[in-house]
Structure 1
Amino acid sequence: MKPNPRQLTLLALLQTQGSVTVEQLADKLGVTLQTVRRDVQRLDDEGLLTRFHGGVRVPSSTIENIAHQQRENLHADGKNRIARAVAAAVPSDCSLILNIGTTTEAIARALLHHSGLRVITNNLNVATILSVNPKCEVIVVGGVVRGRDQGIVGEAAVDFIRQFKVDIAIIGISGIEADGSLRDYDFREVKVSQTILSHAREVWLAADSSKFNRPAMVEVGTLAQIDRLFTDAPPPEPFPALLAEAQVRFEVTL
């Protein structure tokens, strides 16, 4: 297809922001929701964008995540709501692991006023954020620093985490597929995340709504390994049934 001028404007907005809701597109383009949905359907059919529940994003890749700075801006409001909800549920005087991701970085900022926390992380951004809290001890995982997002990956990171058993692991994820699998892009990061899952008494997943039905290449685990899910919109089908079957307690931060 050859996009019309309105559709070209829609694509330009998407390239600038990375992800937008249908309501935002209708407002910016000055058209009805029905018109936007028709445009979105046509552009999705052509592979020019990817739809998710309530909005659209740049086309997905199963092998490479989008840049860290762009991810910081995507769904920022939703991530902040998730972060506040997670922080409210975290008790003082407990041990945590926080992994790589912009959502876990938002959670770190929301934990700045907690006391008595011992936090293990393979995310240098999380360590930097929490290091200013004098009532929080931060332990940084050893390993290879991934320059694009300051994540620490590799076998040394796996071996380091194996020494611990924490109260709560708070993890982010790149995608949750319709078979209930949790997925990410870098197999070195996945090995660390798998170790985190097995070295925590509880596992909390923090994932904004765009992560549902988002494909990625490497399986981290399944919903059955998660105790609690924090998200910013009601999960689309078939996830309510999958969450119920896996006995995952989930909280929607509207």
Structure 2
Amino acid sequence: MYAPERHQQILAWARQRGRVDVTSLAAELDVTAETVRRDLTALERHGLVRRVHGGAIPVERLGIEPGIADRERVLSGEKERIAKTALEELPEGGAVILDAGTTTVRLAEMLPTDRELTVVTHALPVATVLATRPGITLHLVGGTVRGRTLAAVGTWAERALQDIHADVAILGTNGLSVEHGVTTPDLAEAAVKRMLVQAARRTVVLADHTKIGRSEFARVAALSEVDTVVTDDGVDGDLVDEIEAAGPRVVRA
């Protein structure tokens, strides 16, 4: 197993278990304890875990939300496939709301050039991608910009979103579970995401398999308010069945 594969497996176990220890990881991965320590150091340097005595804890357990640069490095292939699959959810023409997130940025980069679309976003990275694109009428929602996600939040953003009605809202998320629905670590960002859902006829959530089954601090929407979830083929089949029983259609990229 190559180092990037080990890193992905260690991170998945850390998120599932809440904590990992060096001795157990060395045995499970059939590597030395020193190799595991180097792996944990690399994951900590990327902002994904916090080293503790004898092991590590995923930053989500500590209430630390990874920054956008850190999240861009994680599961890039899966996010690419999710974004490409999500193109099928776009209207032939009309209005689309694009949420903040690394996967929604990739979707913005892939938007078709053979149709005219109105795009509404509160995410600076999405706006940067689309600002000069032909065929795109871009509306950038203002507000207080969160440095961690580069998304505008607050009452300015919420008021602006009350005035629109789009064909589809495409959301990113930090967690998605049957029990708690769509969730995110920040209350202000959750409030804006709720407005995105209310401002569109359909809601599509993009979530790689590490987000499925997880719950974060602030609730955005129940699964009954979501039409489609686009994820990758690493998602557990039982979780897919549970999610679809709660309402949304699940598409695996």
After the TM superposition, which of the residue ranges 213-222 and 117-126 deviates more from structure 2?
213-222
Cα shift readout 1:108-148 (whole Å, capped 9, x = no counterpart): 11115252100110101111101221101000112112233
What is the alpha-carbon distance in structure 1 between the residues aligned to residue 77 and residue 22 of structure 2?
34
For residues 230 and 247 of structure 1, do their structure 2 counterparts lie closer, same or farther at Cα, with a shift above 3 Å needed?
Answer: same
For residues 218 and 62 of structure 1, do their structure 2 counterparts lie closer, same or farther at Cα, with a shift above 3 Å needed?
Answer: farther
What is the CA distance between 1:15 and its match in structure 2?
A: 3.0
Amino acid at match of 2:210: S
User: Who is 2:155 aligned against?
Assistant: 155
User: Who is 2:41 aligned against?
Assistant: 12
What is the alpha-carbon distance in structure 2 between the residues aligned to residue 14 and residue 208 of structure 1?
18
What is the alpha-carbon distance in structure 2 between the residues aligned to residue 168 and residue 17 of structure 1?
33
What is the CA distance between 1:6 and its match in structure 2?
A: 3.0
Q: Is the 8 A contact 1:61 1:216 kept in 2?
A: no
- Equivalent pairs, count: 223
Counterpart pick for 2:56 among 48, 51, 54: 48
User: Who is 2:115 aligned against?
Assistant: 115
Contiguous gaps of at least 5 residues in structure 1: 20-42, 50-57
What is the alpha-carbon distance in structure 2 between the residues aligned to residue 172 and residue 226 of structure 1?
12
What is the alpha-carbon distance in structure 2 between the residues aligned to residue 135 and residue 199 of structure 1?
22
User: Who is 2:125 aligned against?
Assistant: 125
- CA RMSD between the two structures: 2.6
State the percentage of identical aligned residues.
27
After the TM superposition, which of the residue ranges 82-91 and 133-142 deviates more from structure 2?
82-91
TM-score normalised per structure 1: 0.79
Alignment of 1:61-76 (within 5 A): 61=61, 63-76=63-76
What is the alpha-carbon distance in structure 2 between the residues aligned to residue 171 and residue 89 of structure 1?
12
Secondary structure of 1:209's aligned partner: coil
User: Who is 1:104 aligned against?
Assistant: 104
For residues 93 and 237 of structure 1, do their structure 2 counterparts lie closer, same or farther at Cα, with a shift above 3 Å needed?
Answer: closer
Q: Is the 8 A contact 1:229 1:251 kept in 2?
A: yes
What is the CA distance between 1:224 and its match in structure 2?
A: 1.2
Contiguous gaps of at least 5 residues in structure 2: 1-20, 24-32
Q: Is the 8 A contact 1:131 1:138 kept in 2?
A: yes
TM-score normalised per structure 2: 0.79
Secondary structure of 1:103's aligned partner: helix
Q: Is the 8 A contact 1:224 1:246 kept in 2?
A: yes
After the TM superposition, which of the residue ranges 62-71 and 164-173 deviates more from structure 2?
62-71
What is the alpha-carbon distance in structure 1 between the residues aligned to residue 232 and residue 153 of structure 2?
28
What is the alpha-carbon distance in structure 2 between the residues aligned to residue 100 and residue 47 of structure 1?
32
Q: Is the 8 A contact 1:224 1:248 kept in 2?
A: yes
Secondary structure of 2:219's aligned partner: strand
Amino acid at match of 2:115: S
Secondary structure of 2:61's aligned partner: coil
Amino acid at match of 2:56: L
For residues 61 and 206 of structure 1, do their structure 2 counterparts lie closer, same or farther at Cα, with a shift above 3 Å needed?
Answer: same
Q: Is the 8 A contact 2:90 2:96 kept in 1?
A: no
What is the CA distance between 1:62 and its match in structure 2?
A: 6.0
Q: Is the 8 A contact 1:62 1:215 kept in 2?
A: no
Amino acid at match of 1:96: V
Q: Is the 8 A contact 1:17 1:74 kept in 2?
A: no
User: Who is 2:15 aligned against?
Assistant: none
Relative CO higher for 1 or 2, CA cutoff 8 Å, sep ≥ 6?
Answer: 1
